[in-house]
Structure 1
Amino acid sequence: MVLEEIAGLIGGAHVLSRDELAGRPRDFWTKEPTRARALVRPGNVAEVSRVLALCNARGQKVIPEGGRTNLVQGTQAAGDEILLSLERLNGIADPDARSATVMAEAGATIQRIQERAEVAGLRFGLDFGARGSASLGGALAMNAGGLQALRYGTARSQVAGLEAVLSDGTVVSHLTPFTKDNTGYDLKQFFIGSEGTLGVITRAVLHLHPLPAGADTALLAFDDFGAAAALLGALRAQLAGTLSSFEIMWGEFFDFNTGEQGVGTAPLARGHAYYVICEAEGFDPSFDRQRFETLIASAFERGGARDAVVAQSERERREIWNIRENFDAEIRLFGTLVDYDLSLPIDAMESFAEAVRRELQAKAPQNRGLHIMGHLGDGNLHLTTGVPDPEMKPLIDELVYGLIAAHGGAISAEHGIGITKKRFLRHSRSPEELALMRRLKTTLDPANILNPGKVIDVTGPVTLEGRVAQ
């Protein structure tokens, strides 16, 4: 009955039935069929509001769906939920050069927003590998990070104003184009990073930045982690704010991904402990190149870097980045992939990596290797291993998440919590914080219809003391 009512609100052509979804993979990462009651595709904010109001009244669970590249089962349905796609809400307004902002709807992809901004001579600062398929709404709901968070910040930093629809259909719209808005609670932050559990993001006003005139990219090899971290500090201090990316790869990942099974020939010698990709984007190409090369050369003079290459063309730049971004060979190697996205203080990264390697060999010697890489500039590492038996994954989870907590880190840096990390959230959030999260959820979504079971469980009403009543 509820599907017929929704069809009456948005048109039957925009309601896909259970049978129509059965042949569709659940997401980009798995070929398992989609298990949901239906997929609905409203065409504007008013339709989103009416659909949610109806579902709330009928007690129908709803899972907001973005570009389907989620890594933590954040949009997984159990079978009776309705998937809510905003793919038809994909408009992007003309960028406003004076305020350096652009308004975009939640279904617009990150790449289209980037391209629209570049035509106007501006840069949208959010960027990551799934840019061509990831939607703005999904990226904001997950507070995505990516390759240039060092310079521009995470998704949260890109937003000037936001519009979202609550579970009962209420539209909360504050689409301001200015940076300073000290008018009470910053309500948009309830929805950014909430993974669709508190409301459905429909539109946003995004900050833009001047479009750089050129990029300088280098790949360096180190045998000492401290020397690599020291280069980060030096480039931050001496590149006048133009350092956009500072990526690190542990040697095992670099050696494998530049070997016979990987992306091809290594631009410099394998066998070092660490490899760094650094990139600066400035506005005076000739001066910027000279300064960049001087700083890279000084890394040798200080005795830190063991080898280095500076890209001399866009082709060479893409080849360097492909080492970092291409994971096809890694996926084939590991079979049953066990991967983690975490944040750590930079000073704790080396000891954390050593502890993981030691514990992995002691407790899961059948592992197929340990690949570590990530965004050193913003404290984010990605750690991947593989095991012959999927039943071993819980053991690896306990090992890794326990070590993250012991080293003062966060269990998720940019991929979110979803279902995959929910039971480990206690490693990064205090009981008081978890209780407040539950209270926010029950206040904004009292019927628990929005993405239930993700991030945090609410099994009953929350008491004033923050406990979940049974």
Structure 2
Amino acid sequence: MGMTDTRARIGEAELLDIAGPGSVISGADLREREPGYFMDGIRADLLVRPSTTEQVAAILSLCNARQQPVVVHGGVSGWVRATQTRPGEIILSMERMNAIERIDGENRSAIVQAGVILQNFQETVEKQGLCFPLDLGGRGSCQLGGNASTNAGGMRVLRYGMMREQVLGLEVVLADGRIVSSMNSMLKNNTGYDLKQLFIGSEGTLGVITRLVLRLREMPVSCNTAIVAVQTMSAVASLLRKVDAGLGGQLSAFELIDSDFFGVNTSEGRLRSPFAKRSPYYVIIESQGADSTRDANIFESVLAEAMETGLVSDAIIAASEQQRADIWAIRETLEHVVSDFTPFYAFDVSLTVGEMEAYMKRVRADLAQTFPDGKIAFLGHVGDGNLHIAIGAGGPDDRHAVEECVYRPLGAIGGSVSAEHGIGLEKKPWLPISRNAEELAVMRQLKDLFDPQRILNPGKVLTINAR
């Protein structure tokens, strides 16, 4: 069936019958909604907002029978155009499925609907002395179901792992409307295939996550934060090992900022630099523990040793929560680099720490050769091998050439074109750099198995021939 045939297949009235009054948005109201980063508008015909898993199942069953393409929307805070829509498609928004159903303090777990916003969940569990350690810049808008469907990462991966490690169980609706409820709440359950792992990171192409069982941790009592100046990437790698060993498992963040990104955010009229002079690299180091006095002493001692051995040339330790926030603002503020780097490109790659220095030099050199006036800055969660790259180069037709500079060198070193943002449409042409032919073939087989009509998030992640 062609796209023009599917556009009129499902009407607003049919969706209203399933999801109830006020559940469907269309026309000008739909066009006014936020489409997501790097997208110039919503092209879908309708948006439906179910409030229960059963409604999601009924909607997908109807769409599957009519071969109606469906794109799931969570917080639309992703950076790879995984939620981009086209005419003839329907948006399935999870915004009304936003209930925190249960917090089990004894088991340190929670049951939530997929539309719960990450920050709201964090603040709720903190009131019970617990924490949900996944943390990223989009915390105020991203939804937990979207965090799972993209296997989100963020600042705490070094200590707690990615979203995959936080999910104990989940409930998912398949393309044909079947509800697969695997709401396991145990840390250990070795009974055959771990079905939830198929849907975590699948970006809505295999099923729609509706509910999750999430693992919670004890709320840390202490938090110590510093920003340090480092002269070389080899020193950054050595510093990572030193502080991780010295802090005895309490290292929770190790964030790299290069001189270019630091300079953009601390230029005149912007954020204040805590240092008197510029350094090639900066690292934000944060530890979390259970004894405020003891942990602060250990933290200061480890940093003092790093300075004595020459790994660190200068260091600022936050003495208050405001100073901690000021330090993190240098890393998390993106508005200035977006405005200064035109056209702006954002990249999210992964590679071993030992390969980073050579890779960064190669990308800089390739970009300079192709775009002599281009701008580039590196930052990221270097503690877990994740580099973010900000580039401003070329014109509106030069995207592929810019991407070539970033992605091509990853093939020879076994790197990944996506560390935590997923594939979507943005990185689909480059997926073969990180996945071999056999892996891609199995991924296509899974798509055929779970979504034979290919209605779920069509065109995203994989290139699959039409039926």
Partner of 2:281: 274
Stretches of structure 1 that go unaligned for 5 or more consecutive residues are 462-470
**Structure 2: runs of 5+ lacking an equivalent:** 1-8
Query: Which residue of the partner structure matches residue 466 of structure 1?
Result: none
State whether residues 252 and 287 of structure 2, in contact with CA within 8 Å, keep that contact through their aligned partners in structure 1.
Answer: yes
Q: Which amino acid aligns with 1:278?
A: I
2:362 paired with 1:355: yes
Query: Under a length normalisation based on structure 2, what TM-score does the superposition of the two structures give?
Result: 0.96
| 1:27 equivalent in alignment to 2:36 | yes
Where does residue 371 of structure 2 map in the other structure? 364
Q: Distance in 2 between matches of 1:22 and 1:370?
A: 34
User: Does the 8 Å CA contact 2:254/2:286 hold for their aligned counterparts?
Assistant: yes
Alpha-carbon shift at residue 391 of structure 1 (Å): 1.2
1:29-108 → structure 2 map (5 Å cutoff): 29-30=38-39, 32-108=40-116
Matched with 1:208 is: 216
Could you tell me how far 1:259 is from its partner in structure 2?
1.3
Q: What residue number does 2:395 align with? A: 389
Q: Is the 8 A contact 2:114 2:146 kept in 1?
A: yes
Matched letter for residue 392 of structure 2: G
1:71-129 superposed Cα distances (whole Å, 9 cap, x missing partner): 10000001111000111111113421221101110000001111111011011011101
Provide Cα deviations, 1:213-243, integer angstroms capped at 9, x if missing partner.
1210011111121222112112211212111
Superposition map of 1:264-413 within 5 A: 265-367=272-374, 369-413=375-419
Match of 2:130 in 1: 122
Q: Choose the corresponding residue for 1:6, options 12, 15, 33.
A: 15
8 Å contact 2:371–2:394 — kept in the other structure? no
Q: Following the alignment from structure 1 to structure 2, what is the Cα–Cα distance between the partners of residues 202 and 25?
A: 22
Amino acid at match of 1:324: R
Q: Do the aligned partners of 2:171 and 2:182 also contact (CA within 8 Å) in 1?
A: yes
- 1:467 is matched with none
| Counterpart contact for 2:37–2:79, Cα < 8 Å | no
Q: Secondary structure at the match of 2:25?
A: strand
Would you say 1:229 and 2:243 are equivalent positions? no
How far, CA to CA, are the matches of 1:283 and 1:290 in structure 2?
A: 13
Q: 1:262 to 1:404 in 2, by over 3 A?
A: farther
| Paired residue type of 1:69 | S
Q: Secondary structure at the match of 2:190?
A: coil
Q: Measure the CA separation in 2 of the matches of 1:270 and 1:170.
A: 60
Select which of 406, 428, 434 maps to 2:434. 428
Q: 1: CA distance between counterparts of 2:326 and 2:277?
A: 16
Q: Residue in 2 aligned with 1:245?
A: 253
Offset of 1:131 from its aligned partner? 0.5
Structure 2 residue corresponding to 1:162, chosen from 149, 152, 170: 170
Q: Secondary structure at the match of 1:13?
A: coil
Q: CA deviation at 1:428?
A: 0.1
Equivalent position amino acid for 2:322 in 1: R
Cα distance in 2 for residues equivalent to 1:354 and 1:407: 14
Please list, as runs of the form range in 1=range in 2, the aligned pairs for 1:179-198 lying within 5 A after superposition.
179-198=187-206
Contact kept in structure 2, 1:18 and 1:36, CA below 8 Å: no
The residue type equivalent to 2:317 in the other structure is V
Q: Verify the 8 A CA contact 1:128 1:145 in the aligned structure 2.
A: yes
Question: Is 2:185 the partner of 1:171?
Answer: no
Q: CA deviation at 1:288?
A: 0.4
SS at match of 1:33: coil
Name the CA shift for 1:404/1:270 in 2 (closer, same or farther; >3 Å): farther
How far apart, in 1, do the equivalents of 2:144 and 2:127 lie?
19
1:414-457 CA distances to partner (integer Å, 9 max, x unpaired)?
11000000010000000000000000000000000000000002
SS of corresponding position for 1:25 = coil
Using the alignment, how far apart are the partners of 1:205 and 1:40 within structure 2?
25
SS at match of 1:249: strand
Q: Secondary structure at the match of 2:387?
A: strand
Tell me how far apart the structure 2 counterparts of residues 28 and 356 of structure 1 sit (CA, whole Å): 24
- Which whole-Å CA distance do the structure 2 matches of 1:123 and 1:8 have between them? 39
Q: Deviations over 1:238-266 (max 9, x none)?
A: 21211110001111111221111542x21
CA distance in 1, matches of 2:184, 2:166: 13
Q: CA deviation at 1:24?
A: 2.5
Contact 1:95 1:116 in 2 (8 A): no
**Secondary structure in 2 aligned to 1:104?**
strand
Query: What is the RMSD of the two structures over their aligned residues, measured on CA atoms?
Result: 1.2
What is the TM-score when the length of structure 1 is the normalising length? 0.95
What's the CA shift for 1:460? 4.7
Q: What is the percent sequence identity of the aligned residues?
A: 44
- Secondary structure of the residue aligned to 1:220 is strand
Mapped partners of 1:346, 1:51: distance in 2 = 45
How big is the shift at 1:48?
Answer: 0.4
For the residue of structure 2 that corresponds to 1:129, the secondary structure is coil
1:143-181 deviations in Å (ceiling 9; x for gaps): 000011111110100001110000000000011111111
Secondary structure of 1:198's counterpart equals: coil
Offset, 1:388: 4.5
C-alpha distance in 2, partners of 1:460/1:55?
A: 17
Amino acid at match of 1:439: Q
Q: Which amino acid aligns with 2:131?
A: R
Q: State how far apart, in whole Å, the 1-side matches of 2:121 and 2:257 are.
A: 29
8 Å contact kept, 2:117–2:144? yes
What amino acid maps onto 1:13 in structure 2?
A: G
Deviation at 1:458, TM superposition (A): 1.6
Q: Report how far residue 12 of structure 1 moved.
A: 4.1
- Residues 302-350 of structure 1, C-alpha deviations (whole Å, 9 max, x = no match): 1111111100000100000000000111111012111210001000000
Change (3 A) 1:270 1:165: farther
CA distance in 2: counterparts of 1:300 and 1:399, whole angstroms: 35
Quick one: distance in 2 between partners of 1:142 and 1:153? 14
Letter in 1 for 2:320: S
